[in-house]
Chain A
Amino acid sequence: MQTQKNYDVIIIGSGVGGSILAAHLAAKGVNPKNGEQLRIAMLEAGPYWKGEPRPGYGIPSRRQLITNVFSDDAPERMWPWGMVKMVGGTTMHYGASVYLPYSVDYKHWVDEGTDWTEDACRGAAAEVEKIYNIHTEPDEVLSKGCLMFRDAARALGREVHSAQVARRNCIYCGFCEGGYFCRYDSKMNAMTTYIPLAEKHGVDIIPNATVDRVIIEKRGARPTATGVAFQQGGAMVELKAPNIIVSAGVIGTPRLLFMSGYGSKEELGAKLIVENNNIGKHLDIHAAIIVHAYFDEVIKDGSRGAAPAGYFFLDDAGPNAYGRLRIKDSGMIGVDEPWGLAFSPFAPAFGREHKQFMKQARMHRGGTLVVLKKPEGYRGYINLRTSQMEYEGNEIIVKRLREGGEMSREVLQKMGAKKIVGYDMPPIYHIAHGISTCKAGSDPKVSVVNPNFESHDVSGLFICDGSVVPRSSSGDAVGPIATVCVLAAQRITANHFRK
């Protein structure tokens, strides 16, 4: 076992949360005992392809590594080092779609036991909007299909909104929405925003470090986090620090705490160090279906485009955003990958007809994405042994998604779609944007951290990532998580790292 130099703060994970915490604490935090700049290490399980961002062009090393060539038998060809384990984390391959929290989302967070009001988060949201360069795209870069969707939805009485994207100097290659990495540094992510700031302020980024556990010692009555143990290059290494911030994501964070002996007695048995029955529980999600449509006329290029820009509308089933649906013109713009298109519900079975379909379909296929901000009620959990999300769902979700499917059908029909598929889907749906697996709240009986992101149970331990966000938001995941993590950085700095 090697022991390296000591730090004031160790951050585990370099995605949305870790990068924000690192940049903020390094720039604004000081050691309260001596007033000196904080010594911060940020650990990441994957590699670090560093370089000063050059939005619109990209830098040679990342351009070489990011190929965006996908193959079913070798998906790693797209990026051979895995999809999540890398400096930048999931921000590297999300869809560049960023919605800041809506007023009602803040209200829901307060209902869950935090004090994260819209006022309290205003500065944090403004920072995310600026740093991630969140904006809407002008109509001139949208497809005909996007504009048809907008006009049809308006004609049906819907209030239509422009989709928000987080990009800078985009050249509209069309790949964002497919979860690809950006060769051109145009998709805003941790690597193009907060990580360069963190490094500029002296944060040690330690890549290829797989953290085994947070070291939790029982000192007196209250357990204390004193460091981390991780594997690097085949060796086990220990780093010591009085402040440990876990930002390993909605699955990684509860899993790591569990591995550290922090969790439920029932699951940990003799390995239990600190008991909290909420670790890995309370999983909240977005539920979604995709409605496919086929048009006689050309509605898009199908091989390039400004996706995920476009239009959407919201539909609430009741007050307080109950059963809120977001219905977006996904599929009307951007790349249609031929290996997916070949299996389109509109494709002939095979032969010359299928081949002809393949020659034209990318310009004629569109559709909608129906995303449900699930009504409060049943929640899932993370299986801490397998790292799988477990979510059963319920009839309310199916009912609302079917309603969203019908709303989509109406709009697509108004647009003149020749065929529409998927709106009357069976009770099968996608789940995405999991959060809340180490939920924040003031009541330790139902949460893991307090609203200041401090563990209820372990001194010197903070959690800052999607796992603390107590409820799903109206948009996607990155915007709300980033907002909460800027708030976390502000509060942790103010409460722990001021002279």
Chain B
Amino acid sequence: MSKSKVSRREFLKRSGAGSIAITSIGSGLAYGRSESHQASRLDRHAMIASIGDTLIPTDPGDPGYKSLEQHKITEEVMKKLDGISDDDLEAFNQGSTEFFEGRTFLQLAPSHRADYLLLIIDGSKISDKNRLKVLQKVYRQTRTRVFTVFYQNYPENVIPRDQAGVPILKQRDKHQITNPNTNDLVTGWDISGFKAQMTWQEEEECRTKFQKLWRR
């Protein structure tokens, strides 16, 4: 959990006073990783995982992106991030040093990672427009991919199929229920209340409820 008392709105307001103010906010709030940790140029996984965790935070009793790391969500996200090069990610990682006491994105506390994303979205404090373009590209493309994968219900988004593409039914399934979502873990569908395909019981309840409206 973040120890910062500074809201994101306040952060942007304060950042208007210049980078010195930012630095003072960040002082003493280094979080998590070792000071000596530097993102490898090839450590794409750590970068994407950290951005994913910032985009969809995980809190006690409120699962998020990080909760699905055990199901390799970052590997899934990275399958379609070809538009972001290692150099882009490196620029993204190093870009925070200017504003957060020399700390890279990976070295920042979660709340300051969020602040960094807001800084990138706002854009006004980053004078090098080419650099801003790269940072915004990393943010936007990763956001798109993370939200898409997460809210398309990873990892319970795949229906097992035979070689001909026909869904394989669960044993003893009499009603061809192929909804891949389960109660075993909290996914994007669960968080957003998306019910997907009906259960047989739900179907029967609906038939009972609506039968009086059926026109022959």
Q: A residues near B, CB below 8 A? A: 56-58, 60, 63-65, 67-73, 77, 80-81, 133, 135, 137-138, 140-141, 168-173, 183-184, 302-304, 335-339, 341-343, 349-352, 354-355, 358-359, 361-363
Q: Which residues of A contact B165 (CB under 8 A)?
A: 80-81
Q: List 9 A-B contacts (CB under 8 A).
A: A65-B166, A141-B213, A168-B215, A303-B193, A338-B194, A351-B55, A354-B56, A358-B191, A359-B191
Q: 8 Å CB contacts to A: which residues of B77-125?
A: 79-80, 114, 117-118, 121
Q: A81-B165, A351-B55, A354-B55 in contact; A69/B197 too (CB < 8 A)? A: yes
Q: 8 Å CB contacts to A: which residues of B170-216?
A: 175-176, 178-180, 188-189, 191-198, 203, 206-207, 210-211, 213-215
Q: How far is the CA of A327 from the CA of B205 in the complex (A)?
A: 33
Q: How far is the CA of A63 from the CA of B143 in the complex (A)?
A: 35
- Kindly provide the distance from the CB of B185 to the nearest chain A CB, expressed in whole angstroms: 16
Cβ–Cβ contact A170 & B152, under 8 A: no
Cβ–Cβ contact B148 & A72, under 8 A: yes
In this complex, which of A56, A68, A303, A338 has the most chain B Cβ atoms within 10 angstroms of its Cβ?
A338
Q: Which of B25-33, B41-49, B156-164 contacts A (4 or more CB under 8 A)?
A: B156-164
In this complex, which of B55, B188, B193, B195 has the most chain A Cβ atoms within 10 angstroms of its Cβ?
B193
- Count of residues in B whose CB is under 8 Å from the partner chain: 52
Q: Which residues of A contact B158 (CB under 8 A)?
A: 71, 77
Task: Give which listed residue, A67, A184, A350, contacts B55 with CB less than 8 A.
Answer: A350
Q: Which residues of B contact A363 (CB under 8 A)?
A: 193
3 closest cross-chain pairs (CB), A and B: A338-B192, A63-B176, A171-B206
Q: Which residues of B contact A72 (CB under 8 A)?
A: 148, 152
What per-residue 1/0 map shows which CB atoms of B139-151 lie under 8 Å from chain A? Answer: 0000110011011
- Kindly provide the distance from the CB of A284 to the nearest chain B CB, expressed in whole angstroms: 33
Q: How far is the CA of A141 from the CA of B213 in the complex (A)?
A: 9
Cβ–Cβ contact A338 & B189, under 8 A: yes
Cβ–Cβ contact B147 & A343, under 8 A: yes
Cβ–Cβ contact A362 & B193, under 8 A: yes
Cβ–Cβ contact B80 & A73, under 8 A: yes
CB-nearest residue of chain B relative to A138? B213
Q: How far is the CA of A444 from the CA of B143 in the complex (A)?
A: 54
Q: Which residues of B contact A349 (CB under 8 A)?
A: 117-118, 121, 143
Q: Which residues of A contact B166 (CB under 8 A)?
A: 64-65
Q: B residues near A, CB below 8 A? A: 8, 54-57, 59, 62, 64, 79-80, 114, 117-118, 121, 143-144, 147-148, 150-152, 157-159, 161, 165-167, 169, 175-176, 178-180, 188-189, 191-198, 203, 206-207, 210-211, 213-215
Cβ–Cβ contact B197 & A350, under 8 A: no
Q: How far is the CA of A68 from the CA of B179 in the complex (A)?
A: 8
Task: Give which listed residue, A57, A71, A172, contacts B157 with CB less than 8 A.
Answer: A71
CB-nearest residue of chain A relative to B161? A80
Q: Which residues of A contact B151 (CB under 8 A)?
A: 338-339, 341-342, 358
Cβ–Cβ contact B197 & A171, under 8 A: no
Q: How far is the CA of A140 from the CA of B213 in the complex (A)?
A: 10
Q: A172-B210, A350-B55 in contact; A73/B114 too (CB < 8 A)? A: no
CB-nearest residue of chain B relative to A171? B206
Task: Give which listed residue, B62, B191, B195, contacts A303 with CB less than 8 A.
Answer: B195
Cβ–Cβ contact B194 & A362, under 8 A: yes
Cβ–Cβ contact B197 & A355, under 8 A: no
- Kindly provide the distance from the CB of A66 to the nearest chain B CB, expressed in whole angstroms: 8
Cβ–Cβ contact B193 & A339, under 8 A: no
Q: How far is the CA of A147 from the CA of B207 in the complex (A)?
A: 24
- Kindly provide the distance from the CB of B73 to the nearest chain A CB, expressed in whole angstroms: 13
Q: How far is the CA of A411 from the CA of B148 in the complex (A)?
A: 32
Cβ–Cβ contact B210 & A350, under 8 A: no
Cβ–Cβ contact A63 & B193, under 8 A: no
Q: Which residues of B contact A58 (CB under 8 A)?
A: 176
Other 20 A-B pairs with CB < 8 A, given A303-B193, A335-B194? A58-B176, A65-B167, A67-B159, A73-B79, A135-B215, A303-B195, A338-B192, A339-B147, A339-B151, A342-B151, A349-B118, A350-B54, A350-B117, A351-B114, A355-B56, A355-B57, A355-B191, A362-B192, A362-B193, A362-B194
Q: Which residues of B contact A172 (CB under 8 A)?
A: 206, 210
Task: Give which listed residue, A70, A168, A169, A362, contacts B152 with CB less than 8 A.
Answer: A70
Q: Which residues of A contact B161 (CB under 8 A)?
A: 80
Q: Which residues of B contact A183 (CB under 8 A)?
A: 176, 197
Cβ–Cβ contact A359 & B192, under 8 A: yes
Q: Which residues of A contact B59 (CB under 8 A)?
A: 352
Q: How far is the CA of A46 from the CA of B157 in the complex (A)?
A: 25
Q: Which residues of A contact B147 (CB under 8 A)?
A: 339, 342-343
Cβ–Cβ contact B56 & A56, under 8 A: no
Q: How far is the CA of A22 from the CA of B205 in the complex (A)?
A: 38
- Kindly provide the distance from the CB of A356 to the nearest chain B CB, expressed in whole angstroms: 10
CB-nearest residue of chain A relative to B143? A350
- Kindly provide the distance from the CB of B36 to the nearest chain A CB, expressed in whole angstroms: 28
Cβ–Cβ contact A170 & B192, under 8 A: no
Q: How far is the CA of A113 from the CA of B148 in the complex (A)?
A: 49
Cβ–Cβ contact A339 & B152, under 8 A: yes
Q: Which residues of A contact B150 (CB under 8 A)?
A: 342
Cβ–Cβ contact A171 & B191, under 8 A: no
Q: How far is the CA of A169 from the CA of B206 in the complex (A)?
A: 10
Cβ–Cβ contact A56 & B214, under 8 A: yes
Cβ–Cβ contact B210 & A141, under 8 A: yes
Q: Which residues of A contact B144 (CB under 8 A)?
A: 343
CB-nearest residue of chain B relative to A343? B147
Q: Which residues of A contact B8 (CB under 8 A)?
A: 351
Cβ–Cβ contact B206 & A69, under 8 A: no
CB-nearest residue of chain A relative to B150? A342
Q: How far is the CA of A164 from the CA of B205 in the complex (A)?
A: 25
CB-nearest residue of chain B relative to A303? B195
CB-nearest residue of chain A relative to B79? A73
- Kindly provide the distance from the CB of B188 to the nearest chain A CB, expressed in whole angstroms: 6
Q: How far is the CA of A77 from the CA of B169 in the complex (A)?
A: 15
Task: Give which listed residue, A171, A302, A303, contacts B203 with CB less than 8 A.
Answer: A171
Q: How far is the CA of A491 from the CA of B81 in the complex (A)?
A: 56
CB-nearest residue of chain B relative to A74? B158
- Kindly provide the distance from the CB of B67 to the nearest chain A CB, expressed in whole angstroms: 12
Cβ–Cβ contact A355 & B64, under 8 A: yes
Q: Which residues of B contact A69 (CB under 8 A)?
A: 157, 159, 178-180, 196-197
Q: Which residues of B contact A73 (CB under 8 A)?
A: 79-80
Q: Which residues of A contact B176 (CB under 8 A)?
A: 58, 60, 63-64, 183
CB-nearest residue of chain B relative to A363? B193
Q: How far is the CA of A183 from the CA of B179 in the complex (A)?
A: 12
CB-nearest residue of chain A relative to B76? A73
